[in-house]
């Protein structure tokens, strides 16, 4: 029982960070993300063994206990590999418990192409958790110029909720890769390119009348006037 002068303690991921044994974590007000560990397969069974939850994930069928163990163990091993500078597989934790997973895994040797994927328990869906988790990952690790490359994800054409998440994360449909066979089904590709900006070409315009040089870029912004020193005229000998 609380006395009149006492107030209940409100636990927040922000306040609980000092208790965290994890160094590579992501956090916002309503959810907390940490690396996946091998033992997490047990806590994630509800997510991957639910047929309704898995209808648009992978092959569209629920995983067996062995498949869940193998996938989570592989994710945990990838998290500790020194070939990638940070976590590639996170577990999503909310005030109501574990909600699911989010992955950002390189698909090429140079690690310039990253595939995003996620799986959220059906009773956690519709609360914006996937979008928040994706924003945490992208804003922390995949912003130009820290990351230069391509982010992509695939989504079943009937999974409108997932398509909305990808759009909120800044990915757009690749119109050349729609309804592509994958996982024994079909997928639409969404992409986001983070590439170095190309320098704008400069056009120099010279005017003899006022001895000034004008510089214009290819976006037709107002010209910048730059003083141009007159050369002394040669005297006849």
Q: What are the beta bridge partners of residue 28? A: 31
Q: How many CB atoms lie within 10 A of CB 151?
A: 23
Q: How many CB atoms lie within 10 A of CB 7?
A: 8
Nearby residues of 21 by Cβ (< 8 Å), 6 or more positions away: none
Nearby residues of 161 by Cβ (< 8 Å), 6 or more positions away: 125, 126
* pLDDT band at residue 226 under the 50/70/90 scheme: very low
Span 79-87, average pLDDT:
75
pTM: 0.73
On average, the pLDDT of the chain sits at 80
Report whether pLDDT(158) > 90: yes
> Which parts of the chain are beta strand (E)?
26-28, 31-35, 89-94, 97-106, 113-120, 149-155, 172-173, 180-182, 185-194, 202-207, 212-217, 224-227
List strands edge to edge, sheet with 202-207: 202-207, 212-217, 224-227
In percent, the amount of the chain with pLDDT more than 90 equals: 49
In percent, the amount of the chain with pLDDT more than 70 equals: 71
Tell me how far apart the alpha carbons of residues 117 and 40 are, in angstroms, rounded to a whole number.
Answer: 18
Nearby residues of 234 by Cβ (< 8 Å), 6 or more positions away: none
> Could you read off the pLDDT of 104-138 as tens digits, one per residue?
999 988 889 999 999 999 889 888 999 999 999 99
87-105: b (≥16 Cβ within 10 Å) or e: bbbbbbbbeeebbbbbbbe
Report whether pLDDT(205) > 90: no
The H helix count followed by the E strand count for the chain is 6, 12
pLDDT value of position 93:
93
Report whether pLDDT(79) > 90: no
Please say whether the beta carbons of 35 and 89 come within 8 A.
yes
Residue with tokens 């912004």: 221
Classify strands 89-94 and 31-35 as parallel, antiparallel or unpaired: antiparallel
pLDDT value of position 166:
97
61-70: b (≥16 Cβ within 10 Å) or e: ebbeeeebbe
pLDDT value of position 183:
86
Six-digit token pair at 133? 């988790």
Classify strands 149-155 and 113-120 as parallel, antiparallel or unpaired: parallel
Asked whether the CA dihedral 125, 126, 130, 132 is positive or negative, the reply is negative
* CA nearest to 75, candidates 43, 27, 38: 38
């Amino acid at each position: 029982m609380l006395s009149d002068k006492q107030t209940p303690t409100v636990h927040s991921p922000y306040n609980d960070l000092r208790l965290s044994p994890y160094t590579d974590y992501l956090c916002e007000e309503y959810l907390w993300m940490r690396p996946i560990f091998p033992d997490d397969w047990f806590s994630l069974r509800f997510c991957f063994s639910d047929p309704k939850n898995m209808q648009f994930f992978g092959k569209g069928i629920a995983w067996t206990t062995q498949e869940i163990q193998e996938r989570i163990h592989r994710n945990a091993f990838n998290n500790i590999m020194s070939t990638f500078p940070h976590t590639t597989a996170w577990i999503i934790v909310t005030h109501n418990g574990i909600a699911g997973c989010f992955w950002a895994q390189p698909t090429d040797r140079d690690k310039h192409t990253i595939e995003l994927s996620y799986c959220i328990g059906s009773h956690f869906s519709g609360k914006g958790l996937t979008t928040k988790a994706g924003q945490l990952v992208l804003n922390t690790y995949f912003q130009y110029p820290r990351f230069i490359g391509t982010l992509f994800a695939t989504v079943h054409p009937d999974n409108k909720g997932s398509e909305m998440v990808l759009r909120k994360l800044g990915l757009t449909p690749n119109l050349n890769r729609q309804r592509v066979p994958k996982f024994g089904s079909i997928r639409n590709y969404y992409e986001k390119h983070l590439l170095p900006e190309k320098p704008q070409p400069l056009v120099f315009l010279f005017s003899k009348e006022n001895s000034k040089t004008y510089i214009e870029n290819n976006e037709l912004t107002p010209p910048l006037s730059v003083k141009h020193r007159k050369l002394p005229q040669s005297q006849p000998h």
